[in-house]
Amino acid sequence: MSEDPNASPTAFDLIGGEATLRILVDRFYDLMDLEPAFKDLRAAHGTALDDARDKLFWFLCGWMGGPQHYVERFGHPRLRARHMPFKIGILERDQWLACMDQAMGDVAVNEGLRPRLRESFFQTADWMRNTNG
């Protein structure tokens, strides 16, 4: 929880901290392997997902208002710059969002938090697009 007792809980607090966030990220990447609907998204990640799992987990911890694990390891996320080598169009954005939404449902993310995360994920994923396709 936040150290300031008067502060509103962060998304990190509301989701259940690191333990729940790790389960969410793992489910997200598991779904890429399991669901044919996410095959293009999966193909963009290469053969192994362990590094991507850790990096997304570390990033989301800080992005949601928790510990800044990603920044401590790699510095500023520079999301667009780090993702520029990968084709990210509407298809990839939509598959990422659908996969994350399904993962949130599967791990029972709080229904009050889920729409807020959906909107934030959409804004970020749409901003990451580097092609119109």
* 68-103 tens-digit pLDDT: 999 999 999 898 888 888 889 999 999 999 999 999
Range of the domain at 47: 12-128
**Whole-number mean pLDDT of the chain?**
92
pTM: 0.90
| 5 part of a folded domain | no
- Is 34:102 a contact under the CB 8 Å cutoff? no
| 4 part of a folded domain | no
What is d(CA 89, CA 82) in angstroms, rounded to the nearest whole number? 15
* 29-51 tens-digit pLDDT: 999 999 999 999 999 888 999 99
pLDDT bucket at 7, cuts 50 / 70 / 90 = confident
Q: Shortest CA distance to 21 belongs to which of 107, 126, 86? A: 107
| 112 part of a folded domain | yes
| 18 part of a folded domain | yes
What is d(CA 104, CA 121) in angstroms, rounded to the nearest whole number? 12
| 81 part of a folded domain | yes
Which amino acid appears at position 40 of this protein? D
Mean pLDDT, residues 121-130: 94
CATH number at residue 67: 1.10.490.10
| 1 part of a folded domain | no
Percent of the chain with pLDDT over 70: 95
Domains in the chain, number: 1
| 98 part of a folded domain | yes
- Is 64:12 a contact under the CB 8 Å cutoff? yes
Residue 92 DSSP SS3: helix
